[in-house]
Chain A
Amino acid sequence: MSIEVLTLLLLACILVSFALGAPVGLALGGIAMAVGYMTWGEGIFTLIPTTIESNFFSFILLAIPLYIYMGQLLTRSGIGDAMFNASQMLIGRIRGSLAISVIGVCSMIGAMVGIIGAGIMTSGSIALKPMLDRGYDKRLALGVIMAGGGLGILIPPSIPMIMYSATTQNSVGRMFIAAIVPALISITLLVAYVVISCKMNPEKAPLDTGDERQMSKPEKLRTARDGFFSLLLIVAVLGSIITGIATPTESGAIGVVGAILLAVLFKRFRFRMFQSAGFETALLVSASMWIILGASVFSNFHMLSGVQNMVAQFTQDLGLPPIGVIILMQVIMLLLGFIIDELIIVLMCAPLFAPIVVSLGYDPIWFGILMILNIEIAVQTPPYGFALFYLKGIAPPGVTMMDIYKSITPFILLKLLVLIICMLFPEVVLWLPNMIMGEG
């Protein structure tokens, strides 16, 4: 079977099994092993142990349980709410203010985590409930979380950027600095969108219910204190990374310990709360890891069958003009975001595309940032994308996949806009690193 036919067959199987409501990870793994058995024979099963080892013994993925746990502890102890309540005392009279605070918090979380899954699940744990509690439009709330949580790989530190730099032999520091302006543009556009769309559809974001203003003075003080300390926790976690106490992965554990200490300090610690946070975290971690395992088995099988050769050949054979090649690469990565996570897209596409891009005369750092922006979109595009699954995992019962698709559409368009801006005006990406580090 040629790789083209195999790819189509795999895609068809995915579409059917997903439509029938199969558990995503197990279906991906099952399809790969079933098709693999028919085309390769029993030998393909030996793919499984090495794939299990590379996923379950990945220290980078450890950020997922640690950050989800921190988020769950903050939410269940009420400290997470306190942060947003306090923000409402300050800017509650601006329509959409809560969503804006959420974007702010997501940006800070983005500066702590280096992978998509940890970014979205932490943001979702902390910020989704306060928005829904205050009667925010479900779609606005979900979309903001997805867009904000996705910033985790654009705001340094970012594991995909480190992987890109290593496979293409570019400066990580330069890459981190190059991402700053695109990240700021993304944040600004997100805030602008929230403000404008809430102005146009006031029912999306109810103004504060006045709870904060009707509070007695001691209550207000208490809210302000709790809010201040919870913000301080986030600053402390960030600080532990910047001052070299912990790596980005480990900082999640510092956040967990900090959240427990805060809960005890504020007399919000209940053993049941503690237990249920662990319980819920375990379920979310399990759901994520079984998807990651199944998807890795799938993509490993697909690569063993030579999909990377097909992609490389396809890119070269069309005889497109240089910018056409760049655009085609973006489209290919968007399509790959269908079924594989951000780390595998980088691992597969960086070495395939970067040499071509450089030979066409483009700057590899610029292309790297485009790749990161693209991946951020790719993992969020319907029908199937990794980040969608993470968001579904964290969303309360009753939120359907369709809700999620509809919620993210405007935010995807915003991110696409950032991608196009950076593609058309390379200076947006390259200006800052060139200024700080000199011309590359």
Chain B
Amino acid sequence: TLAVSASMAMVPNAFSAEHNWRFANLYSRGTAYGEVYQNFADNIEAMSGGRIKVQMMYAGEGVGQTGILGSVKSGLMTMGAPFQAMHAGEFPPGVVEVGLPGTTSDVGELSALFHEKGWNEVLTEAYGKQNMVYLEPYIQLPVYVLTKKPINTIEDFKGMKIRAPGAYGKFLRNLGASPASLSWSEIYTSLATGVIDGSIGSNLIDHRDGNHAEVAKYMYRLPIAGAQTLPIVVNNNAWKKLSPDLQAIVRSASAAHAREQMTKSRVWESQAVADMEKKGMKWSPEPSKEDVAGWNGAAESLWVEYANADKYSKQLVQILQK
């Protein structure tokens, strides 16, 4: 199917609407996730009766992956779906927001955290400070670690060189592994030649897309972070230009997008797992009670550390610890 053709129709009259928005996401054209964001954009157009036109900018089209947050902030992009682990240096609370190692994967609990316990308020203020409007959070898949050698107990992580940035690296170091920094496009070659013994992926689909299972076969069963919650952010100046009814429309399209992410992610994750299993990927054996305890212990010390990053991180972690 030609995913491309779907996005064509709106481009020629991109300048005829009341509001012309550009929406940046992390995924390439023609990918399944890219389509979900496209649906979100189409939805905004349809629900606003064409008063808001949204031009989708896919991976590398104008801004790189690490540039999404900055470009929404500056207004180059009107709206963005950033991956907060990539913006840890610009927006520290984003690391807590996306899910520190050891946080829950329960959808109900997560939803309560954001909607009832006060995370939404904290994040709205934190993003607001940087000229962005925070919309509905959406939940994406957990982070797993793939290794060249099987992991039978968490002791096996000791001494392993694993590509894992930021908080995930710190977590693995607590388990005795040696986290290494590598560019994403060198992971495959590095796993193949043995520069590293393993790598995390931002989710199982990412592992499949990078073909990493061709050169590293063993997937550890416990996820490093149970689920990832990602934001949709809008440039504040563009947001203020919308009438209240249009603002409500964008918010409700955003809620619909969150639901679509949830249902489709699970389906695609199981497809990705099936694809990788066909190529020989194997799951580690069920971890023992001690392993689970050790795993969670490695995560807890991190929370305090990240709480100290800035005042919003502290507020988020305090709510988390309640």
Contacts and interface: CB of A to CB of B under 8 A. Distances in A.
A347 B63 CA distance: 12
B14 A306 contact: yes
B273 interface: no
Contacts of A216: none
Contact of A247 (B7, B8, B186): B186
A249 B186 contact: yes
Contacts of B5: 312, 316
B214 A303 contact: no
Contact of A171 (B8, B14, B190, B211): B211
A245 B22 CA distance: 43
A383 B195 CA distance: 41
Interface string A332-349: 000000000000100110
Interface string B191-204: 01111000000000
Nearest to B11: A309
B66 A304 contact: no
A309 B7 contact: yes
B182 A244 contact: no
A165 interface: yes
A46 interface: yes
Given A172-B188, A173-B214, A300-B62, A247 B76 contact: no
A308 B56 CA distance: 11
Interface in A294-346: 300-301, 303-304, 306, 308-309, 312-313, 316, 344
A398 interface: no
A348 B61 contact: yes
Q: How large is the interface on B (under 10, 10 to 19, 20 to 34, 35 or more residues)?
A: 35 or more
Interface in A263-310: 300-301, 303-304, 306, 308-309
Given A348-B60, A348-B61, A355 B195 contact: no
Contacts of B210: 166
A306 B11 contact: yes
A243 B75 contact: no
Interface stretch (B24-32, B95-103, B297-305): B24-32
B2 A316 contact: yes
Nearest to B4: A312
Contacts of A344: 60
A309 B2 CA distance: 13
B257 interface: no
Interface residues of A, number: 56
A246 interface: yes
Contacts of A316: 2, 4-5
B63 A50 contact: yes
B215 interface: yes
Contacts of B215: 173
Interface in A227-268: 241-249
Given A166-B209, A306-B14, A355 B4 contact: yes
Contact of B189 (A59, A162, A350, A355): A162
A365 B248 CA distance: 46
Contacts of A304: 22, 57, 61-62, 76
Contacts of B105: none
B71 interface: yes
B321 interface: no
Contacts of B11: 3, 306, 309, 313
Interface of A: 2-3, 43-44, 46-47, 49-51, 53-54, 57-60, 157, 159, 162-163, 165-167, 169-173, 241-249, 300-301, 303-304, 306, 308-309, 312-313, 316, 344, 347-348, 350-352, 354-356, 359
Given A247-B195, A248-B186, A312-B4, 6 more contacts: A47-B62, A60-B186, A170-B211, A244-B194, A249-B183, A344-B60
Interface of B: 1-5, 7-8, 11-12, 14, 22, 28-31, 55, 57-64, 66-67, 70-71, 74-76, 182-183, 185-186, 188-190, 192-195, 208-211, 214-215
18 contacts: A47-B71, A50-B66, A50-B67, A50-B70, A59-B182, A169-B208, A241-B189, A242-B193, A244-B193, A247-B189, A304-B61, A312-B8, A313-B11, A344-B60, A347-B59, A347-B60, A351-B29, A351-B58
8 tightest CB-CB pairs across the interface, nearest first?
A244-B194, A50-B67, A54-B64, A46-B74, A244-B193, A59-B183, A304-B62, A351-B28
